[in-house]
Structures are given as structure tokens and as C-alpha cells.
Chain A
Amino acid sequence: MTTDNHPEKRAASQPGLWIRRVAVIGGLLVITLALFAAALLVQPSLQKKVRDLRFAARQPFATYDDKMRLQMGIAYDYLVFVRAHMPESGVILVAPPTFSLPHLGSVSIARYFLYPRDAVHQDQASRATHAMLVPGWRPDIGSTIPTTDSWGLVDMGTGQVTWMNTGPERP
């Protein structure tokens, strides 16, 4: 029911009300954006969320590999490479927990990606059948391991190394 007291009717008779409405909505928008910007500045996890959201918007149908590569970087590619070149009964010697790429210094993460293969640290190196070769860390298993900063997998039984083709753009 429309009467003279109806707000829309009053608004029509008072043109200034529309200006007020636009000003208030604009003010709310500015306040919201300012609060969001402030939160973005002080909250690193929010920055990461925005990055993830932008990636999802750009690539809505990205594959599992694409998504994991964004989150884990080259560590993901390396673990995929190891899985492809290691028998299921193998046990891999991983980098120490202090390694600069933390995903590669964790037996738990290695087990997740390499299951049913097992993973161990140096304290159980005697169980290992293979060892990681990653830039910045080489297993202490003799002098036959090349010291180049390349990514590879060494078979501890034969000493044979399988190198990962990381491409020219990779570190």
C-alpha cells in the first residue's frame, strides 16, 4: 500500500534523500575496502588466500598437478619424479628436517606422496634403498655421488643415479 507516509513516496518528494543514499552506500563501500586493504597489509595468510583465489579464477579447470605445483613448487615435481623412478618396495633417504625446502626434509610428506614406498632420515639410513639428490644436500653414502647442484635419485645398491630433467628455467 502506498501512502503519503511511505518512505519511497517521501524520497520522491525529497530529492536530497537520493544523494544521501548514494553517499551512505559509497561510504560503506569505501570503509569495507579500506578495512579489507588494511587486513591484507597486516595478514600474510589473507594475501595468500587472495593469490590462491586469483589462480582459481584464472585457471578454473587446473589439474591436480598444476595446483600442487603452485603450493609446493619444485618439491612437488621432484616427488612425482621419485615416485616414477623408484620401486614400490623401496625406502628413500630424505634430506634432513632443516633442509631449505621443508617438504623435502620430511619423511611424513615423502610417505604421503610416495606410498607404498617408505621414507627415512639419516638415523635409519641403513634401511634406505635409494637417496634424494637435491641442490644443497647430498647423502653421506660415499664419494661416487656427483656434487653438481642437480636433482636426482640414487640407487644405494648400485650407485646408479637417475637425473631429473628440470628444464632450463628450473633452479
Chain B
Amino acid sequence: MSIMGIALTLLSGWLLVDIVKPALSTLPKLALGWGFGLALVTVGVYLANVLLGAPIATPLAWAWPVACNAALITIRWIVRQRLSPPSRPPARPRAPWTMLEAWLCVILALGILVTIVQALYWPFFDWDSLATYDFKARLMVLQGNVNVREYSNVGIGNWDYPPHIPLSYSLIYLWGAAPPKIIIALFYVSLVVFFYHSATQTASRLGSLLSALALILTPTIFLWATHGMLDLPATYYLGAALCLLEEWARKDDRPSFLLAGMMLGAACWTRTNALAFGLSCAAWALLLGIWHRNWPVRHWLAGLASVFGATALWQVNLVLGLGRPFMGGAGVFDAGLLNLPRLWETLAGLAVQLLDPRLFGVAGWMFLAAIVLVPLKRARAFASLTLALFVLLTWLAVFYGWTVGESRTVTLFDSGQRVLLNCIPILLLHFVREPALIQPVDAINAWLQRFVGWPAPGPAANG
């Protein structure tokens, strides 16, 4: 039965994406649909519980996804009646796979398979999942309430984190016997599918596969994909949002902008500090829109409303329902605004972590290569470059503000590493957007095909 619940979740997300951006092809639609569907289902269950007092139990776990799908099917039907059918770009003839592409595909498939097997086989055993996420999920099911009694005596680690992921685990328990970590495995697969789709918009198939491989084999992503924590879902939501924003900036594609805003909202529903990235993206979109004298005001406001709304969903409950004092920006910059040694330390922490292959594999080096080898004046991927720099600056601001008051190097190198993980997809996307960096790889691919007497690779896409 869990499969049925997961299918309903996926369908609701797919319907939402199909309403907003019908021209998108099926696989990326499903990849985005998973994240949207899960956020829709958990927000609905949460609101029904907190506002209407409906217990978190099997009837609600089925009723809401079914109602959500029924509503979305109706909306889609109405939208389809009013608008002409979506026009999809004509499909390009597919070139046969080259040897290198097939090879990368095999490694990619193996990496995904190993992760899925690990996620489905192993129960929760990592510290934070036991102490926080799965514990909350079990208590929500046992007590039928999102605001479990143990919050009142802070009997659970990280009790004030948003309930999206624990609630998702609760739903899996209520839907049947599937291992709850299937949720994380699906985030992992969706992340790589959507990233690959974004990469192929301008790069060759080989370049896209190479960057997708660099993404999924990034050690921290590979590691967190089998744990039950927030890091991978947050990376998926922020990564997809940034890819969508980049698409908007490159093609003036407004549906992508709207989806990006909703994705950022879902990220805030997953992790509180995503708010900083949401606001940073809003500032980036505003500046870019003003620069180009073309920006979607209504979509921008909708995105901002999604970010603030998703944050408020949980923060209001924390203050009104659970009695936590409103924190605001307490503790940030409490040691003065400018602390140059700490700023330098934070900057060094960013560089050291990003370039450490044990943490981020080749991703940091690929981004560094993209900004060193392609001078700013010749950079063609302006949108991805500025977006990547914006999110790195946001990371810097968040961790500088967080650690400025005291010596919290542990925070910098533990939480910092996990939040930096969220920036990896856009860094890799910038690499793949620079034709000058992908062309040598394509040249090797073509030479190798000629060398072994197989057909030459197909032409690269041009976005």
C-alpha cells in the first residue's frame, strides 16, 4: 500500500507541474513532481491536524492525497479547456550513444542502484535520524499529532525544525510497510534526473552525464542519500529551484520562475535556513530583472509569498502552538557587524570545504576551473555564474552571522558543510553551461569514437 501512497504523492506533484509548465517533458516533470507532491501532501496533512484537529492517522493519510489529486485534476481540466494545448519543442533526432556516454551511464546507474539498495535495506541508524527525524515521525503516528507532547520538555533533538520530512516518514508508516528511507532515495533519483535535464539544455549528452555523475558521486551527497536527514531533500529543493531560476534567466521562461518560487517555498518547509537562500534568490531575480528591464512582478511576488508562507507555516505554530519565544534574528551579529578575523576564517572555511575532495569530490574544483579558465569578460553563462556567486555569498553571510559572536568552528565545519551541499548543483550547472569547458570533453569523445571506428557523437544542444 505504501507504493499507492507514493504514487498518489507523485501524481499530485506531476499534476501541479503539468498545470504550471505543460511543455516540460515527462521525466523532469516527474522529478519535480516528487518534491512538489510530497510538500503538498505534508502541508495539507499538517494544516488539517493543526487547524482542524484531524488526527495524524490512516484516514487522513489517504484522504488528503486523494482530495489533493481530485482538486488538481479538476484545475488541470479547467486550465486545459481555457488554454490551447501546450506546444512542445520538436524532438531532436537522437544520436546513437557513444562509448564514453554508455560508460558514464553504466557508472551513473550503478551509483543510483547502490544508493537505492542501501536506502531500502538499512533502517535508520544514523544519529540525527534516530534522535530527531524518525523519532518525531513515530511519535506523530503514536500520538496522532504534529505537536507531540515531548516538544514541551524539549525531549527531542532539533525539535523546532520544520516537520516536512518527519511527517513524510509518518505517512509512509501509515501507508504501509515500505521502508521510510524510500523517500530519500526518491529525492536522490529526482535530483539527478532534473539536474541532467537542466544540463542537457545547453551541453552535449556527454557533458551532461559527466556533470550528473560529478553530482551524484559527490561524497557528501552519496553519503546523505542513504541517511534519513534533511540534507539531501534540502539539496534537491534548493538545487532544483536554482536550476529553474537559471532557466528563467536564460530563456525568459516565466513558468520556470514560478516553479522556482514554489520550490524555494518547499525548501523553507524543509529547513529553516533555506529562507536565507530564498531571499537571496529573490534579490538576484530582482537585480537581474531590473538590469534586463524585464521581470515578472506577479511571479516574483508569488515566489516571495511562497517562501515567507512556507516559513510562517511552522514558525507561527512554534510561537502560538508550542510557546517558543519568537527568535527573529536573535544572536546574529551580536558581536558587532564587522569582525575581520572571523570573516576571513569563514571565507577560508568555505574555500577549504568546497575544495576538499573528501567532502565535495570534484564539484568545487569544477566550479573553480569554470571561473578561473573562463575570464569574466568571456563568460557566456552569466545567469548561472551570478546565481552561484549569490548562493555562495549567502552561505558566507549565514555562517559569518552565525559564528561571529563566538568561536563556533564546529558549526562552520559541520553545519557549514551540510548547507554548502545545497549549493553544489548550481556550481556544477555553471561548469556545464560554459561551452569552452565542455568542448574539450566532446572533442575527446569524438576522437575516441573515430579511434574505435564507431559513429561520431551527435551535436550539442544549444539553449
Contact = CB atoms under 8 A, between A and B. Distances in A.
Contacts of B451: 20, 24
Nearest to A19: B452
B452 A21 contact: yes
A95 to B, nearest CB: 16
B139 A43 contact: no
B458 interface: no
B103 interface: yes
Given A46-B219, A108-B156, A56 B123 contact: no
Interface in B197-222: 219, 222
B127 A109 contact: yes
Contact of B118 (A52, A60, A68, A115): A52
Query: By DSSP majority rule, is chain A's interface helix, strand, loop, or mixed?
Result: helix
Given A42-B357, A46-B219, A49-B226, A112 B118 contact: no
Contact of A64 (B103, B123, B452): B123
B139 A68 contact: no
A106 interface: yes
B74 to A, nearest CB: 42
B448 interface: yes
Interface in A8-25: 10-11, 14, 17, 20-21, 24-25
Contacts of B20: none
B426 to A, nearest CB: 24
Nearest to A72: B125
Given A43-B358, A108-B157, A53 B114 contact: yes
Given A7-B453, A32-B107, A111-B156, A67 B114 contact: no
A117 to B, nearest CB: 11
B155 A111 contact: yes
A42 B99 CA distance: 29
Interface in A41-82: 42-43, 45-46, 49, 52-53, 56, 60, 64, 67-68, 71-72
A161 to B, nearest CB: 27
A21 to B, nearest CB: 5
Contacts of A111: 135, 150, 155-156
B318 to A, nearest CB: 19
A129 B226 CA distance: 37
Contacts of A49: 114, 118, 222-223, 226
- Chain A interface: which size bin? 35 or more
Contact of B448 (A24, A53, A102): A24
B209 to A, nearest CB: 14
A28 interface: yes
Nearest to A62: B121
B135 A45 contact: no
Contacts of B150: 111
Contacts of A53: 114, 117-118
Contacts of B156: 108, 111
Interface in A98-132: 102, 106, 108-109, 111-113, 115, 118
Given A7-B453, A20-B453, A67 B123 contact: yes
Contacts of B127: 102, 106, 109
B131 interface: yes
Contacts of A52: 118, 122
Contact of A108 (B100, B117, B135, B139): B135
Nearest to A59: B121
A112 B125 CA distance: 11
24 contacts: A7-B454, A7-B455, A10-B453, A14-B453, A17-B452, A20-B452, A21-B452, A24-B451, A24-B452, A42-B357, A42-B358, A43-B219, A46-B222, A49-B114, A49-B118, A49-B222, A52-B122, A60-B121, A67-B122, A67-B123, A108-B130, A109-B127, A111-B155, A112-B130
Interface of A: 7, 10-11, 14, 17, 20-21, 24-25, 28, 32, 39, 42-43, 45-46, 49, 52-53, 56, 60, 64, 67-68, 71-72, 102, 106, 108-109, 111-113, 115, 118
A-B residue pairs, 3 tightest by C-beta: A108-B131, A71-B125, A17-B453
Interface of B: 99-100, 103, 107, 114, 117-118, 121-123, 125, 127, 130-132, 134-135, 138-139, 142, 150, 155-157, 219, 222-223, 226, 357-358, 448, 451-455
